Amino acid sequence: MFVLFLLRIVILVCMSKGEFHEHVTEPSMMCYKCKKYHLGICYESMRSCTLKYRQTCAVENIYFLTKKGRSMYYYSKLSCKANCEDINFLSFEKRTELICCKHKSYCNLPEGV
C-alpha cells in the first residue's frame, strides 16, 4: 500500500515537468499593491502582495491621449498578476501600458514616467 502511494507521488512529480519543484524551492517574492500611484505617492494605502504560482509583479501605466495624439501620463496601478505579459492597450481616450517583472521583490515601481 505504501509503495503504491510513493509511486503515485513520483508519477505526479514527473508529470509536472519540474514545475512543482520550482514552486516549492522558489523564495517568496513581494510586490507593491496600489490602485492609484502617481509621482511616488500612493493615493490609497500602499500594500504588498506575495506572488503565487505563475504570478508576476505588474505595473499598469495609464495615459490619456491629447487631441494631437500624444500620450500624457496620468497614474499607475501596482499589483500581482497571473499570466502577465508586457503589452500596450490603445483606445480613443487612453493608453494603458502593462509591464511585468519577477527579477526581484518590489520591482513594480514605475520608472521615468
pLDDT tens for 91-103 read 989 999 999 998 8
57: cell is 509583479
| Euclidean distance between CA atoms 45 and 37, whole angstroms | 10
Residue 25: the pLDDT is: 44
User: Is the pLDDT assigned to residue 61 strictly greater than 50?
Assistant: yes
**Residue spans per domain, the chain:** 29-101
Q: How many CA atoms lie within 13 A of 91 on its CB side?
A: 6
High-pLDDT (> 70) share of the chain, %: 74
CB 4 within 8 A of CB 77: no
Q: What is the pTM of this model?
A: 0.71
Provide the b/e sequence for 63-75 (b: ≥16 CB within 10 Å): beeeeeeebebeb
The SS3 assignment for 66 reads: coil
54 vs 23, residue with greater confidence: 54
